[in-house]
């Protein structure tokens, strides 16, 4: 197997104004990517960082030629793709091995599909297996291997093709922490040592520290639809030290970009935002209240990665709760740090009725959809409207599924704050003002 020393040079992949939509419910369309412009160069590791729903995996599959863009183009070494990209290979989160084949047979699959003669297939497969640290397991079956070893087979199967660009879709997320850390370190050792048989790497992740550990450049995607929010250079020597101030500063900067705090810096303008311009995070009242209580119990301040680790969650799982609490000005976010606001302290320490009153005021003032529903009900003849009225409006800016999620969240928040109620006994479902409000 040949080896290459990574040096940044020519453009391998050029993504030019790519937008991608899929058919939605009831004849609509769901826009997943919007006007993506991105170049991937030889000699660099690029991380696509974003939350769930930001289109990371769709973009990766578009680069691979597995998904055709609705508009725009993808070029490999200057030639526009009209099918599968011949210059890439992929490693998936779910291993995707053939259980009835041995390790060697799994690694040879791609070579066999390309018509490589058996003797050459065997030689190249054994070299890839040795490179990735599985020498001695050539005749083993996937069921005999640990999760980390199965993923090594996935890497060997991709690397044996000696692609220009290795695409990785959250390849470490299904592994335990220690196994993932070991495999990341070994792969970066091969890359920096010039033994990695590709000229570039592109990895999808929602793990901020992983992005800083691995990448030369981090492309931050935001959702609704997925678009490039920022590109951040990671100019740190390898191997990288998580405790170094420069590493921590980059992590904090990416947290700021990923959480997108700027609307909360301007509370006086919250009333000007529309429900589609500022969607409600998918968070229940209990969830965001629980987050505020945990931060209060820690003296009013918490580190988000530490909190996620202690609760055995991914940071990505906590972000909707963080967004919801920040939207209502219960917490303030600075990089990876959460700070309980005075309003959040009052909300957390008050009795149930006062807590509801505080929540109602914040939701009515700072949550656009809750405010819109409350105003519409107040303007109606009897303080009541069909839920489908709001769903129809929401579907102009959201998919049918997301519109329903937005309405469900608004109803949950409004009912807790006793702003309005939802009658599920009627055929169509009606939302009504709470008499006490």
Q: How far apart are CA 414 and CA 406, in angstroms?
A: 12
Quick check: 7 pLDDT over 60?
no
Q: Report the SS3 class of residue 332.
A: strand
70, 212: one domain: yes
Domain assignment present for residue 101? The answer is: no
pLDDT digits (tens, 9 = 90+) for 129-149: 888 888 888 888 888 888 888
Q: Measured between alpha carbons, how far is 103 from 139 in angstroms, rounded to an integer?
A: 6
Mark whether 362 and 293 lie in a shared domain. yes
Q: Are residues 171 and 237 in the same domain?
A: yes
Q: What is the pLDDT of residue 38?
A: 92
Are 248 and 292 members of one domain? no
Asked whether residue 145 is domain-assigned, the answer is no
Predicted confidence (pLDDT) at residue 351 exceeds the cutoff of 70? yes
Which CA distances in Å does 145 have to 33, 96, 152, 176?
Answer: 37, 13, 10, 14
Please count the other Cβ atoms lying within 10 Å of the Cβ belonging to residue 121.
Answer: 21
pLDDT computed for residue 234 by the predictor: 92
The residues, ordered by sequence, that sit 6+ positions from 72 with a Cβ below 8 Å of its Cβ are: 15, 16, 17, 18, 19, 35, 36
Tens digit of each residue's pLDDT (9 = 90 or more) over 291-324:
999 999 999 998 887 887 787 777 777 888 888 9
pLDDT of residue 269: 45
Query: Bridge partners of 22?
Result: 30
Residue 13 pLDDT > 60, yes or no? yes
Average pLDDT estimate for 254-269:
59
pLDDT at 347: 92
- Is 232 part of a structural domain of the chain? yes
Question: Is residue 404 predicted with pLDDT exceeding 80?
Answer: yes
Q: Are residues 377 and 292 in the same domain?
A: yes
The answer for residues whose C-beta is within 8 angstroms of residue 176's C-beta and 6 or more apart is 147, 148
Is 267 a member of any domain?
Answer: no
Q: How many domains does the chain have?
A: 2
**Are 230 and 366 in the same domain?**
no
Q: Which residue has the higher pLDDT, 391 or 315?
A: 391
Query: Is residue 335 located within the same domain as residue 218?
Result: no
Higher pLDDT, 432 or 25: 432
Question: How far from each other are the two terminal CA atoms of the chain, in whole angstroms?
Answer: 73
% of the chain exceeding 90 in pLDDT: 26
Of 214-228, 255-269, 340-354, the range with the lowest mean pLDDT is: 255-269
Residue 142 has what pLDDT?
Answer: 85
Query: How far is it, in rounded angstroms, from Cα 174 to Cα 178?
Result: 12
Question: Which residue is associated with the tokens 């951040």?
Answer: 232
Rounded CA separation 327/341 (Å): 12
| 375 shares its domain with 322 | yes
307 and 212 in a common domain: no
User: Edge to edge, what strands does the sheet with 79-80 contain?
Assistant: 29-41, 11-23, 71-76, 79-80
Lowest-confidence pick of 89-98, 267-276, 370-379: 267-276
Mean pLDDT of 189-195: 84
Residue 327 lies in a domain: yes
Say yes or no: 250 and 293 in one domain: no
Residue 315 lies in a domain: yes
> Within this chain, do residues 189 and 336 fall inside the same structural domain, yes or no?
no
Which of 257, 275, 308 is where one domain is finished? Answer: 257
Is the whole-model pTM more than 0.85? no
Predicted confidence (pLDDT) at residue 232 exceeds the cutoff of 90: yes
* Pair 207, 65 in one domain: yes
Task: Return mean pLDDT, the chain.
Answer: 84
Confidence of residue 198 (pLDDT cuts 50, 70, 90): confident
**Domain carrying residue 173:** 11-87+163-257
Question: Could you tell me the CA-to-CA distances from 250 to 197, 201, 246, 336 in Å, in that order?
Answer: 29, 20, 6, 11
* Domain CATH number, residue 337: 1.10.10.10
In a domain, 240, yes or no: yes
Q: With 60 as the cut, is the pLDDT of residue 5 above it?
A: no
Q: What is the distance between the alpha carbons of residues 106 and 108, in angstroms, rounded to a whole number?
A: 5
Q: What are phi and psi of 312, to 5 degrees?
A: 60, 40
CATH number at residue 38: 3.40.50.300
Cα four-point dihedral sign 326, 252, 15, 85: negative
| Mean pLDDT to the nearest integer, 148-159 | 86
Residue 93, in any domain of the structure:
no
Give, as one character, the DSSP assignment of residue 301: E
What percentage of the chain has pLDDT greater than the value 70?
92
Q: Is residue 412 within a helix (H) or strand (E), and if so which, with residue range?
A: helix 400-416
- Whole-number pLDDT of residue 436: 61
């Amino acid at each position: 197997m040949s080896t290459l020393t990574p040096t940044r040079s020519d453009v391998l992949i050029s993504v030019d104004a790519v937008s991608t939509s899929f058919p939605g419910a009831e004849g609509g369309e769901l826009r997943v990517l919007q006007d993506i412009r991105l170049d991937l160069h030889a000699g660099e590791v690029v991380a696509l960082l974003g939350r769930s729903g930001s289109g990371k995996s769709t973009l990766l599959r578009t680069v691979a030629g597995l998904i055709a863009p609705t508009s725009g183009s993808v070029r490999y070494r200057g030639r526009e793709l009209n099918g599968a990209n011949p210059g890439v290979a992929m490693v998936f989160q779910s291993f995707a091995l053939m259980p009835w084949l041995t390790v060697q047979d799994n690694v040879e699959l791609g070579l066999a599909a390309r018509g490589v003669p058996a003797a050459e297939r065997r030689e190249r497969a054994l070299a890839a297996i040795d490179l990735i640290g599985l020498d001695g397991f050539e005749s083993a079956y996937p069921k005999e291997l640990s999760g980390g070893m199965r993923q090594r087979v996935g890497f060997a199967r991709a690397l044996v093709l000696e692609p220009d660009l290795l695409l990785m879709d959250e390849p470490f997320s299904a592994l335990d922490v220690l196994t993932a850390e070991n495999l990341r370190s070994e792969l970066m050792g091969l890359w920096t040592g010039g033994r990695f048989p590709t000229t570039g790497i592109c990895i999808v992740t929602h793990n901020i520290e992983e992005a800083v550990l691995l990448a030369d450049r981090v492309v931050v995607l935001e959702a609704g639809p997925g678009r490039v929010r920022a590109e951040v250079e990671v100019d740190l020597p390898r191997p990288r030290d998580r405790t170094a101030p420069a590493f921590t500063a980059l992590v904090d900067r990416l947290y700021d970009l990923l959480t997108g705090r700027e609307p909360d810096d301007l509370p006086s303008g919250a009333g000007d935002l529309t429900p589609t311009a500022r969607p409600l995070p998918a968070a229940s009242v209990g969830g965001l209240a629980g987050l505020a209580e945990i931060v209060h119990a820690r003296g009013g301040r918490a580190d988000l990665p530490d909190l996620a680790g202690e609760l055995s969650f991914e940071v990505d799982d906590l972000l909707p709760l963080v967004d919801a609490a920040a939207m209502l000005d219960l917490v303030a976010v600075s990089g990876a740090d959460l700070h309980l606001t005075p309003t959040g302290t009052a909300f957390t320490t008050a009795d149930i009725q006062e807590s509801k009153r505080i929540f109602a005021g914040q939701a009515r003032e700072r949550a656009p959809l809750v405010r819109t529903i409350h105003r519409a009900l107040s303007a109606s003849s009897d303080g009541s409207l069909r839920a489908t009225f709001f769903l129809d409006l929401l579907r102009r800016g959201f998919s049918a599924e997301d519109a329903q999620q937005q309405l469900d969240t608004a109803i949950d928040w409004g009912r807790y704050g006793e702003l309005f109620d939802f009658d599920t006994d009627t055929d169509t479902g009606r939302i009504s003002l709470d008499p006490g409000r």
